[in-house]
Amino acid sequence: MDDLSAMPSSPQSDIASKYFYSSSGPCSGTGRSAEDTPPCQSSSFGSSRKRKKACEENGNGSPETLPSGENGTAEKQKRNMSKKSGVAKSAATACHGTHPLEPAEMAEHLKQGLGKEGQIVHIQEIPSREASFTELPCHLSGAMREALASIGISRLYSHQSQAIESSISGRHIVVATSTSSGKSLCYNIPVLESLSQDLMACALYIFPTKALAQDQLRTLLEMKNVFHIDIDVKIYDGDTPREDRLWIRNNARLLITNPDMLHVSILPYHGQFQRILSNLRYIVIDEAHSYKGAFGCHTALIIRRLKRICSDVYGSHPTFIFCTATSANPCEHVMELANLDEVELIQNDGSPCGSKYFLLWNPPLYMADGSSKASSVPRRSSSIVEVSYLFAEMVQHGLRCIAFCKTRKLCELVLAYTREILQESAKGLVDSICVYRAGYIAEDRRKIEADLFGGKLRGVAATNALELGIDVGHIDATLHLGFPGSIASLWQQAGRSGRRAKESLAIYVAFEGPLDQYFMKFPHKLFDKPIEHCHVDSRNLKVLGQQLACAAYEHPLCLKYDEHYFGSSLDSAMTTLKDKGYIINNPSGALSSSMWNYIGPEHFVFLQRSPSQAVSIRAIEHDKYKVIDKLNNRLLEEIEESKAFFQVYEGAVYMHQGVNYLVEELDLSSMTAFCRKADLKYYTKTRDYTDINVLGGEFAYLPTSTCKTNRVKTTTQANDCAVTTKWFGFYRILKSSNKISDSVELNLPPYSYVSQAVWVRIPHSVKITVEERKLQFRGGSHAASHALLNIVPLHMMCSASDLGTECANPHETRGIPDRILLYDKHPGGIGMASQAQMLFGELLLAPFELVSTCSCTGAVGCPNCIQSLTCSEYNEVLDKEAAILILKGVIDYERAYFEAEDAFQQS
Ligand SMILES: Nc1ncnc2c1ncn2[C@@H]1O[C@H](COP(=O)(O)OP(=O)(O)OP(=O)(O)O)[C@@H](O)[C@H]1O
């Protein structure tokens, strides 16, 4: 029997994070995935000694290579709890109190109890703010006053008054105030007032998600019920029943929709929406900061299509109202998003807010007993366990809490651990928590939202699916397991607590990794740093080409008039469409003013389908596997195709809301996995590898800004790439011993998708230098790629699940080009590679600094430099010294290349 803990060890202490940190599968290379392992359970609390022992036997002093786990009985659990030390906590540490605490009292309570090992490295007290009220504007109608009174509003916050005045007088505005600052009224008041005064006027609300649309509809209906004017407010999205659609098109005056629906259903058939579009007075775009990457780029062009149809076909010129919570450049961003020359910025927040205690929590260090000298590096205890104890504390002491985790599996793991703690400390509360994440069916999510709102639930472990403004009632505390990818996102999540001026608590628990440890060391970087910029690129040629075909289908294109909407690339983009035979012009008239009609491809015309149906705007997969509980035929989850085989295959142990299921059948044709609850003594994980094949030499995205800024010049390329994952088997691993019981072959089809990669070549001379020094070249390029991956989120809004790299394994036989590469892990790509390309010069300098200044001494580095939590290969093939040589070699080569080029141009 193989002992997995005897494999070359991953030196990170928070081993479970290796499995659960990544939400979208592994990096690449033969071996194990980040998505495939079910969370470890009960005995993991008690197994630290066992795990450490295994590592000591390995001679590297590192903690375990695998999470151990067991759905143990309470008896076993107690035994385990009392055994543990170092990595996990002791039963004595767990708080058994259940008396209610206020957030400030909780901060104090934690200092004395759970956090007394020095975990609290910083407390930022964000002071409360008094409301700045203004009286209701005198021009507001009586009906509006009554409606506001009915929802308890007698005065407005100052920013609300300013927003109402400006938008009623027709100025485009962007409201950029804090979470829960009453932004909805900034648009609901002017829109409802205008629609009640002009009985033909209409408005369009655009939300990025269906859940937010539902939330807004509830609020609007509440107001409308007492607003004695007949305005039909309706949602028009993919869930709207077909039989209701005609009525809505003919009668609704306030239409709530999303960019996807505008793209495929409204704009291509704009004639059916003539009444609404010709009377369109307002366009409201809430959560504007969520429009970035490929989705933002497509949305920017969809809005241009909408403005063109409104203006050129129906003669309407609507006023835009944008709301955004967290962005450093709200005006610039929304002007680009909607192609506006001027937007009034409203950011003097008049809403009150209670004080917030923001704690930075670094899991305690421990020394592996008896470790060898070479590796006697102190490690940090499990962040997942720390968060679980904190979550239990919140729930026990009556603080309604959201524990934000980066991945679905981390959520499941935190839930399982916390339930286990509560089983010991407050048994009656075990069922008062659950998981909230994408993948659950809409009905289950609505139920969780309602239970949280109604107080039936005291807490949820959630992914960022709960980050946007879905109203789940009052939340007292938020926990954040690891850096969520951007400071903006952290604030957005933390903003979920303390709504309505109440005191609140946020605790950011660090993983052992460069980014988290950076913020633990320099808290001011988190609290003083302006929130990142939000970027949308409407000039992306690839997207422009696709969107122009859609625009031509809706209304003939004309170079003279349409450049105003689509920019200076219109000419070349139209030429491409013409060459492909998609558009044809009317031969009469001057070239610049001739009209170009959409004619192809043939089947679209023949089937009367619009080209928009072939253009995906989210780069999110449409195809999903269903997971069905065989016992009652209940749909448990839908998993995106690219991630499905990491979790469901015949024989897999699948986890849902902390319960184990055995997958009995996987029907590939219907994309369904059938499973049954099972009490099993093992968990499973796939054996797989992922290859990245860079396609062609074309730029996937043109490096638009490399030339016009003073950024470090780079020869880096961004290309389309094919990402292919193959699953060749799985292990059954005993929870009790953490040993492989057997290995089973799998016969699953490989999964491929096209995405984008950004990469730089490692010069041959650098490779030779590395090899002459008897260092591992592959270990060095792998380590350099990890270091790069680790620092990217400091420069770009992205998370660990957005980007991957090529990971090396010791048995590699496939030839891998000599390069440092990052690839976009979203099928289709969300523009990450193109963003990284623009920054690549700087991006290369940062990992070089990081690795060359890291004080760790081992050849395989440490989690603060070259090890990666998402490495599918357990960080086995790494060489720190080679990484330094490679990074320096690439930087020097790039510098020399551009110096020579400059000298040539000057001569
Ligand atoms: N002028 C006001 N006086 C008192 N309460 C108000 C006022 N304006 C808004 N509120 C209340 O503040 C709460 C938050 O409002 P709202 O949901 O509109 O905020 P938001 O900024 O849109 O939130 P998010 O950032 O989550 O999108 C609501 O309960 C609302 O009734």
For residue 533, what pLDDT is reported? 65
Do 280 and 230 touch, CB atoms closer than 8 A? no
| Smallest CA separation from ligand 1 atom 11, residue | 182
Q: Say if ligand 1 is within 6 A of residue 491 CB.
A: no
Distance (angstroms) between ligand 1 centre and the Cα of 620 equals 31
Distance (angstroms) between ligand 1 centre and the Cα of 293 equals 28
For residue 399, what pLDDT is reported? 96
User: What is the distance between the alpha carbons of residues 44 and 63, in angstroms, rounded to a whole number?
Assistant: 13
Distance (angstroms) between ligand 1 centre and the Cα of 323 equals 12
Q: Say if ligand 1 is within 6 A of residue 325 CB.
A: yes
For residue 7, what pLDDT is reported? 30
Q: Say if ligand 1 is within 6 A of residue 350 CB.
A: no
For residue 506, what pLDDT is reported? 97
Q: Say if ligand 1 is within 6 A of residue 185 CB.
A: yes
Give the number of other Cβ atoms within 10 Å of residue 372's Cβ. 12
| Smallest CA separation from ligand 1 atom 6, residue | 182
For residue 701, what pLDDT is reported? 35
Q: Say if ligand 1 is within 6 A of residue 181 CB.
A: yes
Distance (angstroms) between ligand 1 centre and the Cα of 351 equals 8
Q: Say if ligand 1 is within 6 A of residue 183 CB.
A: yes
Q: Say if ligand 1 is within 6 A of residue 821 CB.
A: no
Q: Say if ligand 1 is within 6 A of residue 458 CB.
A: no
| Smallest CA separation from ligand 1 atom 22, residue | 183
Q: Say if ligand 1 is within 6 A of residue 497 CB.
A: no
| Smallest CA separation from ligand 1 atom 27, residue | 469
Distance (angstroms) between ligand 1 centre and the Cα of 232 equals 23
Low-confidence ranges of the chain (pLDDT < 70): 1-93, 228-229, 326-327, 367-377, 438-439, 442, 467-471, 499-501, 529-533, 537, 540-541, 587-593, 602-608, 619-622, 696-711, 797-801, 830, 874
Q: Say if ligand 1 is within 6 A of residue 153 CB.
A: yes
Task: Give per-residue pLDDT as tens, 845-893.
Answer: 888 988 998 878 888 888 778 888 778 776 889 999 999 999 999 999 9
Q: Say if ligand 1 is within 6 A of residue 784 CB.
A: no
Q: Measured at the alpha carbon of residue 768, what is the angle toward residues 27 and 852, in degrees to the nearest 5?
A: 60
| Smallest CA separation from ligand 1 atom 28, residue | 182
For residue 409, what pLDDT is reported? 81
Q: Say if ligand 1 is within 6 A of residue 502 CB.
A: no
Distance (angstroms) between ligand 1 centre and the Cα of 165 equals 18
User: What is the distance between the alpha carbons of residues 766 and 777, in angstroms, rounded to a whole number?
Assistant: 9
For residue 603, what pLDDT is reported? 56
For residue 346, what pLDDT is reported? 96
Q: Say if ligand 1 is within 6 A of residue 223 CB.
A: no
For residue 39, what pLDDT is reported? 27
Closest of 808, 845, 837 to residue 8, by C-alpha = 808
Q: Say if ligand 1 is within 6 A of residue 61 CB.
A: no
Q: Say if ligand 1 is within 6 A of residue 190 CB.
A: no
| Smallest CA separation from ligand 1 atom 9, residue | 182
Distance (angstroms) between ligand 1 centre and the Cα of 257 equals 21
Distance (angstroms) between ligand 1 centre and the Cα of 873 equals 47
State CA 541 to chain mean position distance: 25
Q: Say if ligand 1 is within 6 A of residue 156 CB.
A: yes
Read off the pTM: 0.70
Q: Say if ligand 1 is within 6 A of residue 38 CB.
A: no
Q: Say if ligand 1 is within 6 A of residue 179 CB.
A: yes
ipTM score: 0.98
| Smallest CA separation from ligand 1 atom 1, residue | 156
User: Tokens at residue 138, please?
Assistant: 């005198």
| Smallest CA separation from ligand 1 atom 25, residue | 179
Distance (angstroms) between ligand 1 centre and the Cα of 102 equals 23
For residue 708, what pLDDT is reported? 40
- Cα end-to-end distance, the chain, whole Å: 69
Q: Say if ligand 1 is within 6 A of residue 182 CB.
A: yes
What does DSSP assign to residue 479? E
User: What is the distance between the alpha carbons of residues 669 and 509, in angstroms, rounded to a whole number?
Assistant: 43
Q: Say if ligand 1 is within 6 A of residue 501 CB.
A: no
Among 180, 327, 489, say which to mutate for ligand 1: greatest number of ligand atoms within 8 Å of CB. 180
Distance (angstroms) between ligand 1 centre and the Cα of 493 equals 16
For residue 46, what pLDDT is reported? 32
Query: What beta strand segments (E) does 641-781 contain?
Result: 653-656, 659-667, 672-677, 682-694, 717-734, 740-745, 751-761
Q: Say if ligand 1 is within 6 A of residue 496 CB.
A: no
Q: Say if ligand 1 is within 6 A of residue 671 CB.
A: no
For residue 641, what pLDDT is reported? 87
Among 159, 181, 491, say which to mutate for ligand 1: greatest number of ligand atoms within 8 Å of CB. 181
User: What is the distance between the alpha carbons of residues 175 and 248, in angstroms, rounded to a whole number?
Assistant: 29
User: What is the distance between the alpha carbons of residues 381 and 362, in angstroms, rounded to a whole number?
Assistant: 9
Among 157, 184, 207, say which to mutate for ligand 1: greatest number of ligand atoms within 8 Å of CB. 184
Distance (angstroms) between ligand 1 centre and the Cα of 211 equals 17
Do 685 and 33 touch, CB atoms closer than 8 A? yes
| Smallest CA separation from ligand 1 atom 8, residue | 182
User: What is the distance between the alpha carbons of residues 339 and 344, in angstroms, rounded to a whole number?
Assistant: 14
Among 351, 453, 474, say which to mutate for ligand 1: greatest number of ligand atoms within 8 Å of CB. 351
Distance (angstroms) between ligand 1 centre and the Cα of 218 equals 14
- Which residues, in sequence order, are CB contacts of 831 under 8 Å at separation 6+? 292, 293, 294, 296, 297, 537, 540, 701, 756, 824
| Smallest CA separation from ligand 1 atom 5, residue | 153
Q: Say if ligand 1 is within 6 A of residue 472 CB.
A: no
- Which residues, in sequence order, are CB contacts of 23 under 8 Å at separation 6+? 35, 406, 407, 408, 409, 463, 643, 800, 801
Closest of 691, 721, 716 to residue 706, by C-alpha = 716
Give the number of other Cβ atoms within 10 Å of residue 559's Cβ. 18
User: What is the distance between the alpha carbons of residues 882 and 867, in angstroms, rounded to a whole number?
Assistant: 14
For residue 631, what pLDDT is reported? 94
Q: Please identify, by atom number, the ligand 1 atom nearest to the C-alpha of residue 157.
A: 1
Q: Please identify, by atom number, the ligand 1 atom nearest to the C-alpha of residue 185.
A: 18
